């Protein structure tokens, strides 16, 4: 089978974990010692930013999973957080990742569970100076387990209003349909979501990248457009036909953003089109429990290249519960070191996160001003 996440990277050094650690260490030293150009982790953490690619279900960490299993009296093959962590080592490509993702999310049963998982995630993001969140959730992965759509929506919506009130964040939800399920099943959920539409920002596509994606979702995306919803889609990294899939999402689905979208860089015409149409690219330079040497560096360098090309790229957390508990600011700091980002580069990442977010322009203006004030009050 294709090893989709075991990506080639330029330079043998990145294939050698020892040498790669040495380069990262040298990078940290450099980024700290060059007078005038210093980018400290503190600066990165403190920057106000938006999180645009995080999955409710992928935010469940091993401790949270154990707590939910106990609270719901569920049977689980994993009795301790340590056993869960061992299981998460199984996720080494998109298919095995989805296997563990499904196991983790099966711990959520009640409205309270959905509320608690979402709220814990918002608290993590708040601690990383995220001021605006657009969070994915996967309704089909719950309704097919017998959980009513209303249970999911009531739980996550009460978490949203609590976090907005108590933490001062702004929050929206993106309903993700599974790429490996039928268009009919997606349409059923889309129609059932109508009572909640004022509280849903947009739709997306995730899960295994197969079976007719993206063509089969043309009708769903057209309908979502009629309903006034924003539109995005995952195009995971180095999948079979990644470039064709990105073209399809742009031409057939009318997406405003691509989630991941690293393979845009493989096609000069795609680069031009994505730039001209101001398509947002939500890249996730995450670390798996089974670390794949070179994977983070490959994504970090792609981010740097996108920044240099003037593309609207952002750094995002994706599935922090399954990916070592790392959130957006942790990942930005790693990318800064791995790709030697300048201070202007890291500020551009935060600026892009507001530019491509689906907030009203009046709020966008406030968020951008907050970022400008932060930068001005942290002289180089």
Residue 206 or 330: which CB sits closer to ligand HPA? 206
Q: Which is nearer to Zn ion, 297 or 318 (CB)?
A: 318
Residue 101 touches ligand HPA, criterion: CB under 6 A: yes
CB half-sphere exposure, 372, CA atoms < 13 A: 6
Question: Would you give the end-to-end CA distance of the chain in angstroms?
Answer: 48
Among positions 211-240, residues that touch ligand HPA (CB under 6 A) are: 234, 236
Asked if 103 is part of the footprint of ligand HPA (rule: CB under 6 A), the reply reads no
76 secondary structure, DSSP code = -
In the complex with Zn ion, the residue whose CB is nearer, 157 or 318, is 318
113 touches Zn ion by CB under 5 A: no
Ordered DSSP codes for 179-201: TTS-HHHHHHHHHHTGGGGGGEE
In the complex, minimum distance from the CB of residue 156 to ligand HPA, in angstroms, rounded to a whole number: 16
55 touches ligand HPA (CB under 6 A): yes
For the chain, give the longest Cα–Cα distance. Answer: 59
Residues 6+ apart with CB under 8 A from 149: 139, 142, 143, 189, 192, 193
Of these partners, Zn ion, ligand HPA, none, which one is at the site of residue 58 (CB under 5 to 8 Å by kind)? ligand HPA
**Toward ligand HPA, which CB reaches closer, 102 or 273?**
102
The two structure tokens encoding residue 226: 């009629």
Site membership for ligand HPA, residue 367 (CB under 6 A)? no
| By the rule CB under 5 A, 111 interacts with Zn ion | no
Query: Is 318 a binder of Zn ion (CB under 5 A)?
Result: yes
Determine if 351 is a binding residue for ligand HPA (CB under 6 A). Answer: no
CB of 118 to ligand HPA, least distance (A): 15
Q: CB-wise, 103 or 318, nearer to ligand HPA?
A: 318
Q: How far is the CB of 259 from Zn ion (least distance, A)?
A: 5
| CA angle in degrees (0–180, nearest 5) for 129-130-132 | 150
Burial class (CB in 10 A: 0-12, 13-18, 19+), 161: exposed
Among 207, 263, 314, 336, binds ligand HPA (CB under 6 A): 207
Q: Does 209 bind Zn ion (CB under 5 A)?
A: no
- The number of residues that bind Zn ion (CB under 5 A) is 1
**Which residue number places its CB atom closest to ligand HPA?**
206
For 269-306, the DSSP string reads: HHHHHHHHTT-EEEE-----SS--TTHHHHHHHHHHHH
Q: Smallest distance, Å, CB 55 to ligand HPA?
A: 4
Residues 6+ apart with CB under 8 A from 32: 38, 40
Interacting residues toward ligand HPA by CB under 6 A? 55, 58, 101, 206-207, 234, 236, 318-319
Interacting residues toward Zn ion by CB under 5 A? 318
């Amino acid at each position: 089978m294709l090893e989709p996440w075991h990506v080639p990277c330029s330079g043998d050094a990145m294939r050698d974990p020892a040498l790669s650690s040495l380069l990262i260490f040298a990078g940290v030293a450099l980024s700290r010692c060059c007078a005038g150009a210093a980018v400290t982790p503190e600066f990165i953490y403190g920057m106000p930013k938006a999180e645009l690619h995080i999955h409710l279900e992928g935010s469940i960490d091993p401790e949270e999973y154990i707590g939910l299993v106990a609270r719901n009296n569920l049977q689980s093959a994993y009795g301790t957080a340590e056993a869960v962590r061992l299981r998460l080592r199984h996720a080494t490509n998109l298919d095995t990742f989805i296997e563990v993702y499904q196991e983790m999310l099966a711990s959520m049963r009640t409205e309270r569970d959905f509320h608690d998982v979402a709220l814990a995630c918002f608290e993590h993001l708040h601690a990383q100076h995220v001021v605006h969140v657009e969070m994915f959730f996967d309704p089909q992965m719950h309704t097919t387990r017998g959980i009513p759509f209303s249970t999911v929506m009531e739980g996550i919506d009460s978490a949203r209003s609590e976090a907005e009130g108590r933490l001062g964040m702004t929050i929206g939800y993106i309903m993700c349909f599974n790429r490996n399920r039928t268009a009919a099943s997606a349409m059923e959920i889309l129609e059932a979501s109508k009572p909640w539409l004022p509280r849903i920002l947009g739709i997306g596509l995730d899960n295994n990248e197969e079976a007719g994606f993206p063509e089969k979702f043309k009708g769903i995306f057209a309908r979502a457009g009629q309903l006034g919803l924003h539109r995005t889609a995952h195009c995971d990294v180095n999948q079979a036909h990644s470039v064709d899939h990105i073209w399809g999402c742009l031409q057939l689905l009318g997406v405003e953003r691509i989630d991941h979208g690293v393979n845009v860089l493989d096609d000069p015409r795609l680069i031009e089109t994505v730039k001209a149409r101001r398509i947002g690219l939500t890249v996730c330079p995450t670390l798996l429990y089974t670390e794949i040497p070179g994977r983070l560096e490959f994504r970090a360098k792609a981010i740097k290249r996108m920044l240099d090309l003037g593309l609207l790229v952002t750094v995002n957390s994706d599935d922090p519960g399954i990916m070592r508990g790392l959130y957006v600011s942790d990942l930005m700091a790693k990318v800064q070191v791995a790709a030697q980002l300048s201070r202007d580069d890291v500020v551009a990442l935060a600026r892009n996160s507001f530019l491509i977010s689906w907030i009203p322009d009046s709020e966008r203006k406030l968020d951008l001003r907050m970022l400008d004030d932060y930068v001005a009050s942290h002289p180089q």
